[in-house]
Structure formats: C-alpha cells, structure tokens
Amino acid sequence: MKQNPQIFSNSLSYKKNGLLYFDDISCSDLAKSYGTPLYCYSANEIRNNLEIFKKSISPFQSSIFFAVKSNFNPLVLNMFAKEGIGADVVSKGEIEMALMCGIKPENIVFSGVGKSEEDLLFAIKKKILQINVESYEEIEDILKIQQKYKTKLNISLRVNPDVDANTHKKISTGKFEDKFGIPITRIGKIFEKFNNNYFKINGLAVHIGSQITNVKPFDVAFKKLRDLTINLKSSGHKIEKLDLGGGIGIVYSGNKTIDFNEYQKVINKHFIDLDVKLLFEPGRSLVGSAGILISKIIRVKKGEKNNFLIIDTGMNDLIRPSMYDAYHEILSAKKIENGKKVFYNIVGPICETGDTFGKKRKIQILRKGDYVVICSVGAYGSSMSSYYNCRVPANEIFIDKKKVFQTKKMLHPRDLYLKV
C-alpha cells in the first residue's frame, strides 16, 4: 500500500507521441477545448485513493468523512456521496454544499474553531451527525441554543494533545500554541460540568495538522487520546466515538509519504480494544494527486539574472506556493526527447513578487503559447482561489471514464456587486 514517491498521479503520463495525458486525454487537447487556466480532476484517481484508505481502516468499526475544505467541487462531492462517504465541514456554507451534493445530514461532522451561533443553529436544525466542539465558550453557546429549542444533539470534544506534527507551521493544529481544540488537561472538567439532558458528549476528536509524512506524530497523539479515553470511561463517562481526523500527506516531489500499513498498525495498537467507533476525516490524501492545473505560457521574458516563464495561472488560482512555500512539480504538456533544458523562474501575471510557482526549475525550452501542467493540486487548490486583481478563477472539469464534465465557470468580479 506504500506509494511510489516518484509518482505524482497514476492518471498522469507521457505517451509515445511525447504528449502528456491525464486520464488518457491529452492535456493540450483539454486546454484547447476548455481554455486555461484549467483545473482537471480524475474520478479514477480519487477512487483508487479512496480504496487505499478504506483498506487501511478496514479492520475497525469506522466511517469516513471527506474534508470539504480541501475540494468542494460539486462533482467530487457528489461522487463521495454515491460512495457512502460523509462530509467533514467547517462552515455553514460547507454544510449547504454537502447537502446540495447529496450527502445526508446524518453523515456530516461539523468542525472548526469559529462556529457562530448562526452556524450552530443551522447545524442543529439540520440534525447533522455531530458537532466537534473546540472550546469551553462554544459549549456555552450551544447550551443557550439547546435550552431554547429543546432539540437533542451529539457533540464530541476536539482535544488539543500538544503534539508537534512536524509539518508546515501554518498547517500545524495540535500544539497548545495553536488555536484549535481544547487543551487535553481541561477535558475531564468539561465532561463533569456539561454532560446534561440538552446535549450528550459522546466522543472525542483530534486533528494535529495536515501534510503529515511520518506516522510518529499520529502514534504520540493517539497514545494520549487512548489514555484520556480510558480515564474518562473509568470515571463513568460514555465514550462511543473517537474522531481521529485526517492529515496524511501526499507526494509533491519525491518526498516520502506514510506507509498505510504502518498507519493501520498504530490505530490497531491504540484503539482495537476500546470498543469505540472510529471516524476519519481525510481530504488531501483522497484528492490531492487527482488534480492538475493546465496553464498557457503568456510569454518568455529574459532578465539579467533569470529567465521568466510567465503563465496565465496566478496566485489567485493556486496560492499554495506563495502562502506555504509549497513545491509542485511543473511539466511540459509536450516532451521533446533529448531536448535542451534551461532554468526558468515560473511566475504568474499577478502584481505580486510572491506570484511565483517555481524558481530555478530546469525544464525543456518553452515558447509563448505552449502549455505546462502543475501537478498535485487536487487539494487546497481551487478551494483557496480568489478574485485578486479582479481575475476570474480557473475553470474546472471532472473526468470520469474518459467523459469530461465541466462543473463551473466563475462569474467575473464585475458581476458580483450591485451597481452603485
């Protein structure tokens, strides 16, 4: 089950004619048919990733809830709904999106540190599966709503275990200095004070970060969660569910990823004997490798120190390199065998120096009008896009068994506002 670190996507490959294909369709043909910049998603790749994840948790009583924040393309969500996968959401808008795409309310888990009273009321009225509470103060807000509406509700407490996930500081969520979750030292007191007739605290949740590539942080966090669960049960509290979050990393450029056999062993080690249902919230590991972003070269600019490959994709389309210093492989849509290679800084058209996708990338000589493909953008790509510089975000297509479905064409910023 361990991934080959050299493979970014099983759906992406060069054919004999030198053209780069995605799900057996030429990337150049996709660009010509649907325009650029263009996000493309492979249903086949997502299904393969899902099967790998399902196999890793198959020994346990478990359910999967896809992290909607990673990719809320409606056809992606609808596919998960048909596969019986639930939704992990962090806003009222994501609840509405999940429901619209066929995911049932009883298959939705609501996480997030900043749920407003409006968000909470909406979730309660929709009778979603559970709310993962992240603070003492959030419980007080829920209590006010529950006392007024007298509706039953299941909640889990998101535990902050003070564990370093050894990932980028902006996507680390499990240390005491992070804003997420309730410090593990305070969980027992909350159970004692708030478990009443208006709502039932029946579980615990933990999520320590994203793009985790080593199983050790999970081992440390799960050990703390196990000990806490045993202590709470010994005090007479009923723990029915443990939400183990997500965070498993993917391949971006030859980096190692978690061996799913080892991940399974860690879960088995800590939870197999606890008689609890396990919930998982994968996002990136299911869709990250399933997305590419095709871009057209606007021009090649020669500088004093660098050659700039200026593409029509901007940081408004893909902010990860600018925000996280993230590395994405960038490939030519047509490979020339034994062609001369040169170094390029690959940049976008946004008026920001940070609008850069790769520095000193050695790639074949490219010209105006050629296409390039940015790999591994299926997670936190389109979902983080914006209208910066009044640019229309990239279009999106979904490929399933060689059939192409166009899922959205974003409005121009001029159409977003009422006339003054």
Q: Which residues are catalytic?
A: 351
Spatial contact of 172 and 179, defined as CB atoms under 8 Å apart: no
Instruction: Please name every residue paired with 344 in a beta bridge, in sequence order, or none if there are none.
Output: 361
The phi and psi torsions of 22 (rounded to 5 degrees) equal: -125, 115
User: If DSSP codes are grouped into helix, strand and coil, which group holds residue 268?
Assistant: helix
328, with CB counted inside 10 A (0-12, 13-18, 19+), is buried
Q: What's the CA gap between 68 and 98, in Å, rounded?
A: 8
Q: What's the CA gap between 244 and 190, in Å, rounded?
A: 20
Tokens of 51: 């099967």
Spatial contact of 228 and 204, defined as CB atoms under 8 Å apart: yes
Q: What is the DSSP string of 156-186?
A: EEEEE------S-GGGB-SSTTSSSSEEGGG
- How is residue 300 annotated by DSSP? E
Instruction: Please name every residue paired with 293 in a beta bridge, in sequence order, or none if there are none.
Output: 39, 374
Number of residues written out for the chain: 420
End-to-end Cα spacing for the chain: 57
